[in-house]
Amino acid sequence: MNTTPDTDDRGATRLGWAGVIPFAALAAAAWVPAWAGFAQLAFVAYSAVILSFLGGVRWGRAMAGGGAGEFVRSVLPSLVAWVALLVAGAAAVPVLAAAFVAVWLNDSLFDRLPAPAWFRRLRAGLTAAVLACHVLVFAAQLAA
């Protein structure tokens, strides 16, 4: 396998998009009255886990060449995810959505850490899909 920085890593791409499946399934289930309560709780929990994962990805990248500030920024997603789990309810979904946007902005506009082009493209697409799912769940919460 070619591992040059501009090589599209198909394995990471497949796993990344597979990770959107629970978001989409739970967002759809949030509109089904019999499943709405469970789906919304599971959505918030999964969202918090993935947000924490993104912080871990940043931590790993920071180890390859970041300063102390990079490590601080890598911990923030986990802390926001934890707070979202504590507040739960309807407030958790927009908090998590805003955190996904903040992480994406940090990783795309303000990122000084090395990353291949495919990683940035993948993150943009995944973030858009995840945000759409957050909007659907929040709308379901408001409609209930």
Hey, where are the domains in the chain?
21-143
DSSP state of 75: H
Provide the pLDDT for residue 2.
47
Q: Which of 108, 121, 51, 113 is nearest to 82 (CA)?
A: 51
Phi, psi angle pair for 47, to nearest 5°: -60, -45
Q: pLDDT per position in the chain (144 positions), as tens?
A: 445 555 568 899 999 999 999 999 999 999 999 999 999 999 999 999 999 999 998 888 888 877 777 888 899 999 999 999 998 778 999 999 999 999 999 888 877 777 788 888 899 999 999 999 999 999 999 998
Q: Which of 34, 43, 45 is nearest to 144 (CA)?
A: 34
Q: Is the pTM of this model over 0.85?
A: yes
